[in-house]
C-alpha cells in the first residue's frame, strides 16, 4: 500500500462488526488519523494494530490538510477513522477527501458500519427514498431548516445526542405535528439497543418520563399526500383571501 487515502469504517458498538478488510488496511497503513486517539487506541489494541496514530478532529482538520496531502504525495498510505461508523458521515473526513481529490490523489472508501442505515431499515417507514440530515443546527439556522423540511415528502433521518433529544422532539411536534410517524433507535449494535416506534407526541412523552441515554437516530415520516393536499387547499384559500382584500 502506498500513496493512497483510505476511509475506514469502524464499529458503532459491537466490535464484531469490524470487517477483515478494515483490520488489514489499518495494519498495513503508514498512518492512522483518528477522531479521538484514546477511543481508537482501544480498537487497535483489540485487533493488535500497531500503526502510528494521530488526532484528526473538527478542531484541527483544517490545519492538518496540507501536511497529510504531502505525506500521501510522498507515497504514504493514510487511513482515516472516526470514533464510530464511516468517516465523513457527521464526522471528520470530508475536508480531507476534497483536498486529496483536488490534488488528484488515490482515495478508497471501505464499506462498513454506519448508524443511520440499520435505524432506517428497521423503522418501518419508507426507505426507498430518504434524506439524511445528520445533526440539526444547534442555534442559528435551526428553525429555518426545520421549516424547510416541513414540506419534505421523503423519510428524514437525523442524529441526536441525549441532552438535546427532548428539545428536538418538541420541535418535531411543533413543526411536523404530534401525529407524524417517528422511529427512534438508540445504542445500535450494543447491549442495550432499542427502537421505539410511534409518533412525535408518543415518543416525546416516553423520553420525558424516561431520561434519554445513549446516541440516537431519529427516522421521521415525510409529509403524506393527504397532508400535502390539505396544505395546498389552505394555501389556495389564503391566496384567494389576499386577492379579495
pLDDT the model gives residue 124: 97
Q: Give the CATH number of domain 116-228.
A: 3.30.950.10
Task: Report the pLDDT value the prediction gives residue 239, as an integer from 0 to 100.
Answer: 63
What CATH code would you report for 4-109? 3.40.1010.10
Q: What pLDDT shows up at residue 1?
A: 53
Model pTM above 0.75: yes
C-alpha cell at 161: 445526542
Whether the per-residue pLDDT at 245 is higher than 80: the answer is no
**Does the pLDDT at position 238 exceed 70?**
no
pLDDT at 116 > cutoff 60: yes
Residue 46, SS3 per DSSP: helix
Of the chain, the percentage scoring pLDDT greater than 90 comes to 84
- Looking at residue 230, its pLDDT comes to 75
- Check whether 226 has a pLDDT greater than 70: yes
Chain mean pLDDT for the chain: 93
Q: Cell 427512534 sits at which residue? A: 184
Q: Is the pLDDT of residue 67 over 70?
A: yes
Task: Judge whether 4-109 and 116-228 match in fold.
Answer: no
Kindly report which listed range (4-13, 47-56, 226-235) carries the lowest average pLDDT score: 226-235
- Strands of 194-199's sheet in order across: 130-134, 155-160, 216-220, 181-186, 194-199
pLDDT for 227 equals 78
Task: Give, in degrees to the nearest 5, the angle at Cα 54 between 49 and 55.
Answer: 120
Is the pLDDT at 236 greater than 90, yes or no? Answer: no
pLDDT for res 242: 65
197 C-beta neighbours (distance < 10 Å), count: 16
Pairwise CA distance, residues 112 & 2, whole Å: 22
Over the stretch 71-82, which tens digit does the pLDDT of each residue have?
A: 999 999 999 999
pLDDT digits (tens, 9 = 90+) for 74-112: 999 999 999 999 999 999 999 999 999 999 999 999 999
pLDDT of residue 233 exceeding 90, the answer is: no
* Coil vs helix vs strand at 112: coil
Q: How far apart are the first and last CA of the chain?
A: 72
> Does residue 203 surpass a pLDDT of 90?
yes
DSSP bridge pairs for 53: 32
User: d(Cα 51, Cα 47) in Å, to the nearest integer?
Assistant: 11
C-alpha cell of residue 164: 438535546
User: What does the domain layout of the chain look like in residue ranges?
Assistant: 4-109, 116-228
Beta-bridged to residue 158, according to DSSP, are 134, 218
Per-residue pLDDT, 139: 86
pLDDT at 195: 97
Rounded Cα gap, residues 119 and 214, in angstroms: 14
Amino acid at each position: 500500500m502506498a500513496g493512497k487515502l483510505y476511509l475506514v469504517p469502524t464499529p458503532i458498538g459491537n466490535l464484531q462488526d469490524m470487517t477483515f478488510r478494515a483490520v488489514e488496511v489499518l495494519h498495513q497503513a503508514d498512518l492512522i488519523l483518528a477522531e479521538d486517539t484514546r477511543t481508537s487506541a482501544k480498537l487497535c489494541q483489540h485487533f493488535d494494530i500497531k500503526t502510528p496514530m494521530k488526532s484528526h478532529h473538527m478542531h484541527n482538520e483544517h490545519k492538518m490538510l496540507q501536511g497529510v496531502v504531502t505525506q500521501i504525495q510522498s507515497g504514504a498510505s493514510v487511513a482515516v477513522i472516526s470514533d464510530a461508523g464511516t468517516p465523513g458521515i457527521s464526522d471528520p473526513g470530508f475536508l480531507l477527501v476534497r483536498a486529496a481529490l483536488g490534488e488528484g490523489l488515490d482515495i478508497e472508501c471501505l464499506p462498513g458500519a454506519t448508524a443511520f442505515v440499520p435505524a432506517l431499515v428497521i423503522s418501518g417507514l419508507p426507505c426507498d427514498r430518504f434524506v439524511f440530515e445528520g445533526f440539526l443546527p444547534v442555534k442559528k439556522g435551526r428553525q429555518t431548516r426545520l421549516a424547510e423540511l416541513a414540506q419534505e415528502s421523503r423519510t428524514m433521518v437525523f442524529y441526536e445526542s441525549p441532552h438535546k433529544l427532548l428539545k428536538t422532539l418538541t420541535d418535531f411536534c411543533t413543526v411536523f405535528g404530534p401525529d407524524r410517524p417517528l422511529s427512534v433507535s438508540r445504542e445500535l449494535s450494543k447491549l442495550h439497543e432499542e427502537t421505539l416506534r410511534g409518533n412525535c407526541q408518543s415518543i416525546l412523552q416516553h423520553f420525558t418520563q424516561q431520561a434519554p441515554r445513549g446516541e440516537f437516530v431519529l427516522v421521521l415520516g415525510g409529509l403524506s399526500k393527504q397532508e400535502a393536499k390539505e396544505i395546498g387547499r389552505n394555501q389556495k384559500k389564503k391566496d384567494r383571501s389576499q386577492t379579495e382584500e
